[in-house]
Amino acid sequence: GRVTSVRAKGNVCFAVIRSGTFPFHTVQVCHFKDKTQPDESKKLIKFVGNLALESIVDIFGVLSAADVKSCTQSDVEVVIQKVLVVSRAPVQLPFLLEDAARSQLDIDRSQDSDRPFAGVSQDVRLNNRWLDLRVPANNAILRVRSGVCQLFRTALYNEGFMEINTPKLISGESEGGSEVFRTDYFGQPACLAQSPQLYKQMAISADFDRVFEIGPVFRAEKSFTRRHLCEFTGLDFEMAIKEHYNEALTVIHGLFRTIFDGLEQRYSKELAVIREQYPSEPVRFTDQPLIIHWPDAMNMLTEAGHTVDPFADLSTSLEATLGELVAAKYGADFFALDQYPSAVRPFYTMPNHIDARYSNSYDLFIRGQEICSGAQRCHDVDLLVQRVQEKGMDIGPLASYIESFRHGVPPHAGAGIGLDRVVFLYLGLDNVRKASMFPRDPNRITP
């Protein structure tokens, strides 16, 4: 395990060893001077006292009953007989894990005391991310992130979906607009995929009626907010529908119910460790899908004293306000907002058949922040071409995609979910970068 703390004085030494495979577990090891072997015993005490924090050691000894309140193994300790250093850490670390493991509340409370606690800045943490991820709460966040992926797969496999893998080097923008990373592909212009959208839909055309993918997504957005990244992991699915796009919303609700319940049940230890440093409450959600229609949302915001444009997208602040209003009215932190204006949705979004100014689209929110965007897609090729032209996009790079619709494709709908943002919001973190192993933003491409 790793050396977490060391104390050596006179004829005794103590150390706390943190498990290397499950870093939330700690055990105290100790050695008292042995009168039968005083010289060897004294050397061992000195050796343990000089161990650098974060070194990896093998401890050989005898398990003994003890009352140790500072370790997770609180009723035993190891009386040391031999210590081997597997990997020695430097004496001077970029920061102390003890400092990085404190909650902001503890740091703030200490500022008026005689010994105020030090904090560790986000840049210092991210510059030494491998060290930052040894902090129990941060390590647990990545384990919860892995759990979200596992539960996402489980939920969709149980609904008859199959997993696919789509290209990330493409010849045109999948979403439209200029927010793409462009590159040269053997003399041809290419870019990194903004989403697997086009290929998910072509999979539906290929008679894979229900598909999903977990993969990287790239957005060349010069956004420096606490909730945006230039590369993140997308949880995407697409499905054929029979009568209404609510079929997809029902799948999404069941999917997130599986994730929310699964995290609380399977990852209770990790969540307890995380919430000790980053306090949060479980997300509240309804038994059946909670769907707020766009006109109703506009009315809720207007009645709350806000000025809204019914044909413009919601600002971040209005989304947060709507989340508060929904929570107060329905007692839920998780909901869907549908029937967005067509003008603010991508070209492949199906317009509403009653009023084309609106669309058969939806976003999902946790605590007033978007985690998922989806819609029924245009499956009529003439309407699809019309939508591309209305958006002022070049049809050329979309030729293969459009051709797949000429050969017949069933009505379908789907969604794209941001894994990093789900973890960030579910855990009530202050920054999405905490939910990414090695985050990428406009200022960071290393480590």
303 assigned to active site: no
Question: What token pair was written down for 246?
Answer: 């609510």
Q: Where do we find the tokens 């992130």? A: 145
Give all strands (DSSP E) within 358-411, no chain letters. Answer: 361-366, 369-376
Task: Give the DSSP letter string of 84-145.
Answer: EEEEPPPSS-SS-HHHHTS-HHHHHHHTTSSSPPPP--HHHHHHTHHHHTTSHHHHHHHHHH
Contact present, 358 and 374 (Cβ < 8 Å): no
159, 175, 221, 319: the active-site residue: 221
Contacts of 414 (CB under 8 A, 6+ apart): 200, 201, 236, 237, 238, 239, 248, 374, 375, 377
Q: Are strands 26-32 and 76-87 parallel, antiparallel or unpaired?
A: parallel
Which class for 122: exposed (0-12), middle (13-18), buried (19 or more C-beta within 10 A)?
middle
- The DSSP code for 343 is G
**419-426 vs 136-158: helix crossing angle, rounded to 10:** 120
- Separation of alpha carbons 340 and 357, rounded Å: 9
228 assigned to active site: yes
125, 228, 345, 433: the active-site residue: 228
- Phi, psi of 377, rounded to the nearest 5 degrees: -100, 160
174, 359, 373, 404: the active-site residue: 373
Contacts of 42 (CB under 8 A, 6+ apart): 11, 33
Identify whether 447 is preceded by a cis peptide bond (ω within 30 of 0). yes
219 assigned to active site: yes
Report how many helices (DSSP H) and strands (DSSP E) the chain contains, helices first: 14, 16
345, 421, 433, 436: the active-site residue: 421
444 assigned to active site: no
Q: Three-state DSSP class for 353?
A: coil
238, 370, 377, 412: the active-site residue: 370
CA dihedral of 430, 156, 342, 226, whole degrees rounded to 10: 10
219, 345, 412, 433: the active-site residue: 219
Of 199, 251, 214, the C-alpha closest to 377 is 199
Contacts of 109 (CB under 8 A, 6+ apart): none
205 assigned to active site: no
Residues with catalytic annotation?
A: 219, 221, 227-228, 370, 373, 421
